[in-house]
Each structure stands twice: as structure tokens, then as C-alpha cells.
Structure 1
Amino acid sequence: MAFEGKVLPIVIHGDPVLHNRAAEVEEINDDVRQLVADMHVTQEAARGVGLAAPQVGAGLRIFTWGFEHTGDAPQQGEVLNPVLTLLGKVSQEDPDPETETEGCLSVPGLGYPLKRADHVRLQGFDVEGNEIDFEAHGWFARILQHEFDHLNATLYVNRLNPRWAKRWKKELRKQGWTTAGNTWIPGEDTDPFGHDEDDESKTAEY
């Protein structure tokens, strides 16, 4: 049975679902299959390259991705109960704003530079229960780390170095993203990252 997905609201920083560790998927049932279908549709509508279940209000260890440059790995997929292993080191140098700036669908409209490992291994299961086990490099490795962090209640803004963390905290106070209930709906609300104006020049978000 194929599940038709629908666009879900994306939860914004401050909601408890983003700041608590997600729970293991104990059974792949119809509710889980529907959630995964909804996540794929929501990610596409948001022009994102990844989406974690907590970002749509579901505290489960699931994330999706869609990215062209994945090497031998699938360009689109989902993983349930993932295990992510860093195979490359995270440099202690300052991140490059030109090449290492991340965005997050749950921190809409903003982007900050962050160092990540450039080589990881992802293990887990897809929505059909098939085993997943592959390695990723470069930006794809960054995407997987970003989504895996979401499942452990860590947003990329929690990893910023002091310089960029200061800017983020100032913006956080300005936006007031410290309580539950803030969301945006891809395809209905104005795209906070400006993809509506120029899809090709914008940084990918997760």
C-alpha cells in the first residue's frame, strides 16, 4: 500500500519536541509509514535537503534526505533508528562563511558557519525495514550529521563557535523563539529562505 504524503507544519526553535531526545521507532506500522511519506512531501515543499521527525512535531528517531551529490548512496531516502559514526575528524579551525554555512528549517531565514566531519557512516533501516549501511562524504556527510543531531535534541546553532553563537543568541532574543507553538508551513507561508525569489542561489536547508 502506497501512502500519499501531505505537507506538515515545520516546528521552530523553542518547541520542546526539538529540545528533547527523540524516541526509538519500536514498530514500523501504518502511522510510521504515513509520517515518512508526509516528511518527504514536506521536505520537498520546503526546498530542504533533509528533515528530521522532530521538525514536524514527531519525537521519533527518523529523518529523510534528498540530495544529488551522494556518491554511491541513494539520492533520496529515509532512515529509522539511525546510527551515525564519524569517520573524519572535525577541524578546530574557524569555519568558512563562504563554504561552510548551514541553514535549518527550524531556524528559518538564518544561516551560520559550522565545522563538520567530512566523512561519516550511516546505519539503520528504511521504512520497509531494509537495512541501510553506507558512507558519505562532503556536504552529504554534513546533511546526515545535521539531521542526526536533531534526533538527539541538538540544533546546529547549539554547535556554533563563540563568535557565531553570540550572533545567534542576539537573533534568538530578537525573534523570541523560546517557547512552543511557533511553526511555518511550506508552500503556504512565505519561504523564509527566499527560495521563492531565486531557487538556485540559496543555501540548502535541513
Structure 2
Amino acid sequence: MVREIVVYPDKRLKLISKEVEVFNGALHDLLDDMYETMRAKNGVGLAAIQVGVDQRVLIINVPLEIEDGEHDQPKENTLEMINPVIVEKDGTEKFQEGCLSIPGVYEDVERAKHVKVEYFDREGNKQAIEDDGFLAVAMQHEIDHLDGKVFIEKLSYIKRKKFEKEWKKRQKES
């Protein structure tokens, strides 16, 4: 089921999500709905809080190029992370980011180049993954959501003020 995306400046995006304690059918349904929602909205990642659920759950599915510039995100390639924790990070890198909760806005954000994340899968098994590419950026972006942060908070003061002014204008027009 495709769920509605929570859009900035909705106060729910500021919530610090709660740890998942029960790995059951309700969690599996949430993960499946998040995948459908992410695909329907052309996203690469989605945190549960972005569909109004304040649990430490996120998914990422980096698109695969199939042919002629076409992309696919097969469900089996979806990284489902429950209660993720960054245990190592180093280096820095700038990457242009966007967000389903702030549609149409893309900005360069500085993040750690390399991260190692420990998390649980949908069955409650402990896992770890590390990356120093686009996946590392996506994991940091989505974990920020679980901590009540959105990527525009990482912008300089001037860029942030410019964004806020343009965003308010856009909200009034729609």
C-alpha cells in the first residue's frame, strides 16, 4: 500500500524515532508499504517517520541501470534497516541530495565518505554493512531522519535562509 509522505515543515519530521522491539507481521507490512511508497514516489530511500511512523526503520534501494538509461529497483535489492547505528565513519565528501519530504529541492551536502552501520533485518538478525559510495550517503541521510533531522539543516546559514524563503513562497502557491 502506498502511504502519504510527510512533507516539510511537518513537526513529525523533528521526532526522534523509537527503537523497534517487536519484529512481527506489522513491521513486515510497514517495510513492504515503505518499498511501494518509495517506488511510487521515485525515491532511493525512505525512513518510517516520512510515512508518519516514528520507529527506527528505514529502507534504501539504489537503482540499477538496466539499459538505455533505464533504471530498476527490484524489491530483493532493498536494504531494510531496523534500529541502525553508525559505528564507524571517516573522511568527508560532498554529494547532491534530495528528499521525498522536501520535493524538488536538491543541494550539496557534506557527509562522511565512509560509514559502517550495524542494524537488524526484518527477522531481527543483527547485520553490518559498510560503504564509501552513494549507499554511504543514503544511509546517513535516512538515519538523520530517524534522529529528527532533514538534510537542509546541514546547509550554510545563507543557503538555509534562501531555502526557507523559497519554500514558504512555493507552499503558498500550491
The TM tier, using the shorter chain, reads 0.7 to 0.9
Q: CA deviation at 1:34?
A: 0.6
Mean Cα displacement is larger for which, 163-172 or 14-23? Answer: 163-172
Equivalent pairs: percent with the same residue?
Answer: 36
Match of 1:40 among 35, 43, 48: 35
Question: Number of residues paired by the alignment?
Answer: 162
* TM-score normalised over the length of structure 2: 0.85
Q: CA deviation at 1:75?
A: 4.1
Q: Does 1:11 align with 2:13?
A: no
Provide the C-alpha distance between the structure 2 equivalents of 1:80 and 1:162, rounded to a whole number of angstroms. Answer: 33
What is the SS of the residue equivalent to 1:166?
Answer: helix
Q: CA deviation at 1:141?
A: 0.5
Match of 1:89 among 77, 88, 91: 91
Per-residue CA deviations over 1:108-167 (Å, capped at 9, x if unaligned) read 111111111110011110111122101011211100000000000000011112232122
Match of 1:30 in 2: 25
Match of 2:101 among 95, 102, 106: 106
Q: Does 1:60 align with 2:55?
A: yes
Q: Does 1:147 align with 2:142?
A: yes
The AA in structure 2 aligned to 1:118 is K
Where is the strand percentage greater, Structure 1 or Structure 2? 2
| RMSD of Structure 2 on Structure 1 (CA) | 2.0
Provide the C-alpha distance between the structure 2 equivalents of 1:47 and 1:88, rounded to a whole number of angstroms. Answer: 29
Pick 1 or 2: higher relative contact order, CA cutoff 8 A, min separation 6.
Answer: 1
| Structure 2, gaps ≥5 residues long | 65-75
Does structure 2 retain, via aligned residues, the 8 Å contact 1:64–1:76? yes
Q: CA deviation at 1:89?
A: 3.0
Provide the C-alpha distance between the structure 1 equivalents of 2:19 and 2:168, rounded to a whole number of angstroms. Answer: 33
The AA in structure 2 aligned to 1:87 is K
Q: Does 1:163 align with 2:165?
A: no
Match of 1:132 among 127, 130, 133: 127
What is the SS of the residue equivalent to 1:108?
Answer: strand
Q: CA deviation at 1:86?
A: 4.2
Provide the C-alpha distance between the structure 1 equivalents of 2:87 and 2:63, rounded to a whole number of angstroms. Answer: 22
